[in-house]
Structure 1
Amino acid sequence: MKFYRPTEECGIFGIFGHPEAANLTYLGLYALQHRGQESCGIVSSDGRSLSAHKSMGLVADVFGNQEIFRSLPGPAAIGHVRYSTTGDSVYKNVQPIMVDYSRGSIAVAHNGNLVNAQIIKDELEAWGSIFQTTMDTEIIIHLLATSKQNSLEDRIVDALSRVKGAYCLLFLTETRMVAARDPHGFRPLCLGKLGDSWVVASESCALDLIEAEFIREIEPGEIVVIDKNGLTSLSPLKKVEPAPCIFEFVYFARPDSYIFGQNVYEVRKEFGRQLAREHHVEADIVIPVPDSGVPAALGYAQEAGLPFELGLIRNHYVGRTFIEPQQSIRHFGVKIKLNPVRDILKDKRVVVIDDSIVRGTTSRKIVKMVRNAGAKEVHVRISSPPTSYPCYYGIDTPTRKELISSSHTIEEIRKYITADSLGYLSEEGLLQSVGTGSTPYCKACFSGSYPIKFPKLAAAPQLDLF
């Protein structure tokens, strides 16, 4: 049985002007591994040509041989870790994409999802374009190649003015690195410095690992061009209302990262505090579903005045695949990842904190696991509102019919997961916890209100378009 979590499409990292660019990109990708575990790759530039190494698998496995870095020379590099939301999980879709065309060589790494990808692809194929991958990222390459603009910056602007959706992009040529973020700013992207070198990363935790200084976040709609003369910032794209993804705070970003102007760990703790205010229950202990539920559980325990305990222990050494017995061990998929601490749970009224319920199958197994370990009562608290709609902006979520909260009431979900009580953080509490001010976060997965209209809007909430 699959241990289901929503999964982020990918993470990107780039550095310009450092003699160990490829090695530092490897470390940056290592810090961003939580954003994608299917494949990874690095492209470097020595000022004359681009070199690449990429494969299926985890960063440490793909780049486990030091000799690989000898084949990635130069002072500039970009890298990518991937979880597929658009395109199959196969080698040909491993990023960064690198191509040679009439104006030289270019590599692209992309985090996000383009909602009008199929329409543009159909147009390009009608004019003779041949696609080598099944990713929407390749569309941007074709738009660059067919642009009539002269400069790289203008060709990028021309291409991005055609696409709609979520994108954080890193481009690398022989002499330049360019970063771009979509006008809504769905996904995080930050800028840093390491000595005289410029660094771009999906999250600030990647800057921390290489001891780079966090400078600022790249703004929605901003294009940053970095070359031997330094950094140039452009804002050529049409201004729209920002809509950063609030689920980055709930689950995706690493808790030690700084995104959208806030520390993820502190925001998650505040989710827990607010959850305790909204859904107090008489209990003996509070336990998280590790690891993402830990900060919220700490906040809940502090606000409720209850002991925080690690009642579930996560096995951090589970590989990406394992042989599952047919009938010999029930609930094997959850048991291999989580194990209850019986002495902590026995005869206790337990509050279990998790970040979300998607299909409900995993929550049901966790509740039964805690109850079988001797808990008298099991009260489930979720540090986000019900996830009722799929995401089309770079998160792999099921279709709407597979999301349990799209067709069941909270009481029906409680009965299904066999909890004594169930409480979700309200949408108002969520927004209050992030201290939105004037920032209108994207919360389409909770509300169904999508910031970007779809080419097939009527079908979007029910169907997987891509």
Structure 2
Amino acid sequence: MCGIVGVISTAPVNQLIYDALLLLQHRGQDAAGIVTAGPDAKGRKFFMHKARGMVRDVFRTRNMRGLPGTVGLGQVRYPTAGNAYSEEEAQPFYVNAPFGLVLVHNGNLTNAHALKQELYAVDRRHLNTDSDTEVLLNVVAHELELAARDLPLTPNEIFKAVGAVHRRIKGSYAVVCLIAGHGVLAFRDPFGIRPLCVGHNDQGGVMVASESVALEGNGFELDRDVLPGEAVFVDLDGKMQFQQCADKTSHNPCIFEYVYLARPDSVLDGISVYQARLNMGVTLAKRVVSTVPPSEIDVVIPIPESSRPSAMELAQLLGLPYREGFVKNRYVGRTFIMPGQGVRKKSVRQKLNVIGSEFKGRNVLLVDDSIVRGTTSREIVQMARDAGARKVYLASAAPPVRYPNVYGIDMPTPDELVAHNRTVDEVRESIGCDALIYQDVDAMKQAIGSLNPKLAGFDASCFDGVYVTGDITLADIARLNAGRDTSEEGEEDTSRLALPNAQLA
């Protein structure tokens, strides 16, 4: 998962982009990058700085001074493919022809391997990294060159190129591209899997970003989401033009955005993330009642932080006390994806500490947003027992994660998923809790989908194994898993979920 932003303004944009990336930091902490264009009015010179690490560490005062101009874009990254430890694979990516293009991307191309061969053999374009973003950039560059050959570059030619890009690439992609001397292009895949929205401010500026919180936190008014298959071109004067560029579209956003990935104060595709999580608490409460009588539960305790809305709603509906039983160290990373299992287990104890009085002698219901590998859950259940809990029940606001995700979330291989090919009782035994309650897939879809009936549905492939693009085979999954970053470097959690203060519940 990555966070992307593009800005056109009448004033310098370096601070705006920096602030937007801070608001999107929860979407990736592996690397960060900013590129600006200017400072001349034609915006034909690029200035770039990118490196591994958090936004606050990558950009110092000297770096910000080297990013002049009134147009630019930025990205925070976590890796789904390629080398997480390579500075070269940090975004943005740049190519000098045609015009000069810089691009940031959130998502994952499922046919990147075939495109690499095609780019080399047919398009005669050279790739220097293993990143699918470089593949995407070169496809955009090639199609833009064909569309604008011997013609002035107008929005019509740009939208024609985007249409050709849609026909060539597969998977999930939300893209922001800066075209030197012309403006900013943003577009979204035909299924709308990854989020992208656009807004404006009173000074004539325009911002596109992964989440609405990036706009609102910087004084921009949210206009709307970019539609699946749609492109928006913003010229250097801030004029926006929209065009549907895909032959066929279906609006199926990734449901894991609402379960975990997005900030609760964001609105994605017309759905409040916070309200979605409250609704998930309602349906989860019904599942709890059918498994454990509320009279056997003394207290409901969330596992920080994104499970809090669901846990609060569940506790209220069941008439049970809601308590904070874990204190999170906000300076230690999350552990959903870690470089090594040994590091993951160690980090759980580092990042959470129990308030013993909330556990001692009680039957506690722990509520988490989801359970993926189960390693963190197992350790937390043991921490509750060590604190004196009589019984430990565990409820997940999401259904069992049984399948890999191929659209830009670094879900592990099937064998690493604790629920893969296991019954709920077998998962319960693995985690060590007295009862395990999962959300129902259809109930989850209904709870979230009711907030925007216009959606065709969701990509919930990690829960139900149905890949909305309809072109994913077992061979594709095996190849994509082979491309996942599994290297280790020290004892550092570089995952996109390993974020201090990732969710501000």
TM over 0.5: yes
Q: Whole-Å Cα distance in 1 between the matches of residues 92 and 10 of structure 2? A: 19
What is residue 407 of structure 2 aligned with on the other side? Answer: 393
**Secondary structure of 2:51's partner?**
strand
Residue 126 (str. 1) matches residue 136 (str. 2)? no
1:335 to 1:123, Cα distance in 2 relative to 1, 3 A: same
Q: What does residue 501 of structure 2 align with?
A: none
CA distance in 1, matches of 2:14, 2:200: 16
| Structure 2: distance between partners of 1:144 and 1:276 | 47
Matched, 1:108 2:103: yes
Matched, 1:232 2:237: no
DSSP-derived class of the 1:395 partner: coil
User: For the structure 1 residues 392 and 425, does the alpha-carbon distance in structure 2 shift closer, same or farther, using more than 3 Å as the test?
Assistant: same
Deviation at 1:395, TM superposition (A): 0.5
1:18-50 residue CA offsets vs partner (Å, 9 max, x unmatched): 312111000000000000000000011111211
Tell me the distance in 1 between the aligned counterparts of 2:140 and 2:277: 40
Q: Per-residue CA shift, 1:332-361, capped at 9, x if unaligned?
A: 321101111001111111000001111212
1:300-331 deviation digits (Å, cap 9, x = unpaired)? 1111111111101110012699xx9x99x995
Q: 1:449 to 1:320 in 2, by over 3 A?
A: closer
SS at match of 1:291: coil
Partner of 2:280: 271
1:257 to 253, 266, 272: 266
Cα offset, 1:462, TM superposition: 5.2
Farther-moved stretch of structure 1 (123-132 vs 29-38): 123-132
Alpha-carbon distance between aligned partners in 2 of 1:114 and 1:453, rounded to the nearest angstrom? 14
Q: Within 5 Å, which residues of 2 pair with 1:188-207?
A: 188-195=195-202, 196-207=204-215
| 1:360 corresponding residue in structure 2 | 374
1:81 has 2:98 as partner: no
What secondary structure is seen at the aligned counterpart in 1 of 2:428? helix
1:165 aligns with 2:171: yes
Taking CA–CA contacts closer than 8 Å with sequence separation of 6 or more, which of the two structures ends up with the larger relative contact order? 2
The answer as to whether partners of 1:191 and 1:199 remain within 8 angstroms in 2 is: yes
Is the aligned partner of 1:223 residue 2:239?
no
Contact 1:14 1:78 in 2 (8 A): yes
- Residue 317 of structure 1: which of 311, 327, 331 is its match? 331
Change (3 A) 1:397 1:221: same
Q: CA deviation at 1:261?
A: 0.9
SS in 2 for 1:347: coil
Could you tell me which residue of structure 1 aligns to residue 5 of structure 2? Answer: 13
Greater alpha carbon shift after TM alignment, 24-33 vs 151-160: 151-160
Q: Does residue 1:149 correspond to 2:186, yes or no?
A: no
Corresponding residue SS for 1:317: coil
TM-score (norm 1): 0.93
Give the equivalent residue in structure 2 for 1:40. Answer: 32
Contact kept in structure 2, 1:140 and 1:160, CA below 8 Å: no
Give secondary structure in 2 for the equivalent of 1:404. Answer: coil
AA aligned opposite 2:75: H
- Please tell me whether the aligned partners of residues 353 and 380 of structure 1 are also in contact (alpha carbons under 8 angstroms): yes
Q: Is the 8 A contact 1:149 1:158 kept in 2?
A: no
Native 8 Å contact 2:345 2:375 kept in 1: no
Q: Is the 8 A contact 1:287 1:297 kept in 2?
A: yes
User: Is the CA contact 1:221–1:237 (under 8 Å) kept in the aligned structure 2?
Assistant: yes
* CA distance, structure 2, for counterparts of residue 278 and residue 320 of structure 1: 27
CA contact (8 A) 1:389 1:461 kept: no
Q: Deviations over 1:198-223 (max 9, x none)?
A: 11110011112212111111111110
Q: Is the 8 A contact 2:9 2:238 kept in 1?
A: no
- Counterpart of 1:209 in structure 2 is 217
Is 1:117 the counterpart of 2:109 in the alignment?
no
* 1:157, distance to aligned residue in structure 2 (A): 2.9
Structure 1 pair 331/38, CA: closer, same or farther in 2 (3 Å)? closer
Which residue matches 1:442? 459
Moved more, 138-147 or 66-75: 138-147
Change (3 A) 1:278 1:341: same
**Is contact 1:391–1:445 with CA below 8 Å preserved after alignment?**
yes
Deviations along 1:386-426, whole A, 9 cap, x unmatched? 00000110100001121121121000111111111001010
Contact 1:194–1:211 (CA under 8 A) maintained in structure 2? yes
AA partner of residue 147 (structure 2): Q
Alpha carbons of 1:377 and 1:21: their partners in 2 closer, same or farther (altered >3 Å)? same
Q: Secondary structure at the match of 2:96?
A: strand
Aligned to 1:4: none
TM-score under structure 2 normalisation?
Answer: 0.86
Please state how far the C-alpha of 1:184 moved relative to its aligned partner: 0.1
Mapped to 2, the partners of 1:204 and 1:340 lie a distance apart of: 34
Structure 2 distance, partners of 1:428, 1:97, is 39
Other-structure match for 2:391:
377
Deviation per residue, 1:91-114 (Å, 9 max, x gap): 01010112212x321100000001
Q: Deviations for 1:221-244, whole angstroms, at most 9, x for unmatched residues?
A: 110000026000010211232211
Contact 2:75 2:92 in 1 (8 A): yes
Give 1:335's match in structure 2, choosing from 339, 349, 352: 349
Q: How many residues align?
A: 451
| Distance (whole Å) between structure 2 residues aligned to residue 235 and residue 96 of structure 1 | 25
SS of aligned partner of 1:336: helix
Q: How many angstroms does 1:278 deviate by? A: 1.6
Work out which of the residue numbers 287, 296, 307 in structure 1 matches 2:310: 296
CA offset at residue 160 of structure 1? 3.0
Q: Kindly provide the amino acid, as one letter, of the partner of residue 227 in structure 2.
A: E
Letter in 2 for 1:132: N
Alignment of 1:57-76 (within 5 A): 57-63=53-59, 65-76=60-71
Give the drift of 1:465.
5.5
Following superposition, the deviation at residue 158 of structure 1 comes to 2.2
